[in-house]
Structure 1
Amino acid sequence: MKNTRNNELSDRRSAAAEAKAALLNAYRDAKDKAEPTRLAKQAERQAVAAAREERRAERERLKLEQRAQAQAAEAERQAAAEAAARADIEAREAAEKDRIARVIADEAARKAARDLRYANRKARKS
């Protein structure tokens, strides 16, 4: 009885090994059958990702264009403000120079009138 084999155990072991092999073969067959579908889905996902990236790049390009337009408008507005300020300063300076010239001319006219009166007085005395 020493070398008697338990046939039930060996039967169960061989049945388990066969079942495992059958599952592995079924998995490989299912994987091979699903390969075209998987490739199609993968290609579709890649196309969607490429379209998404293209839309993102377009949005980024539009943002850059809008930012550039805003900067150009800001620079134009700032240049106009500087030109207006410069024109205002020049107008003030011109008005100041004109006022100074009138004051000098008035002083010269008063001095000339005073000198004329002085000369007339001297002429009457002598």
Structure 2
Amino acid sequence: MEAKQKLLDKMKAAPKPDDPEMIAKRAEREAVARAREERRAERERLKREQEAQKAAQDAAEAEAAYAAEHAEQIAREAEEKARAERAVADMAAMKEKRDQRYAARKARR
């Protein structure tokens, strides 16, 4: 019974929720919670900015790689076209020589 009475007395002596000290402690906890939330929001914002920056950088690198690859492909195609044109020109020259030999043979007869 005595222990129960001591417990009740202790509960009665505890500060009430409307006590100025309790109000100040509650306000301090709320301020700490707000500051913590602001820091978390700032970290999230920075993380999103970094992700956006990385995505933009990756896109630029991919575009540059595509452009370089495409430029190489265009150069290869131009080289192949020039090679084909030389082959056609060589064949035309060989045909011209052959025709000249044929014409010379005909002229001798």
C-alpha offsets along residues 70-109 of structure 1, whole Å, 9 cap, x if unaligned? Answer: 0110011001101111111111011001100100110001
Residue equivalent to 1:94: 78
Picking from 95, 100, 105, the partner of 1:116 is 100
> Match of 1:99, as an amino acid?
R
What secondary structure, in the 3-state scheme, does the structure 1 residue paired with 2:89 have? helix
Residue equivalent to 1:39: 23
Structure 2: gaps spanning 5 or more residues? none
1:54 aligns with 2:38: yes
Q: CA deviation at 1:28?
A: 3.6
Structure 1 stretches of 4+ moved >4 Å: none
Structure 1: gaps spanning 5 or more residues? 1-15
Cα distance in 2 for partners of 1:108, 1:33 equals: 106
- Number of residue equivalences: 106
Distance 1:52 1:121, change over 3 A: same
TM-score by length of 2: 0.86
Residue equivalent to 2:66: 82
Matches within 5 A, 1:64-83: 64-83=48-67
Further displaced range: 70-79 or 116-125: 116-125
> Match of 1:81, as an amino acid?
A
Q: CA deviation at 1:120?
A: 1.1
C-alpha offsets along residues 43-68 of structure 1, whole Å, 9 cap, x if unaligned? Answer: 00100110010000000100000001
TM-score by length of 1: 0.75
Residue equivalent to 1:3: none
Distance 1:50 1:27, change over 3 A: same
Distance 1:97 1:36, change over 3 A: same
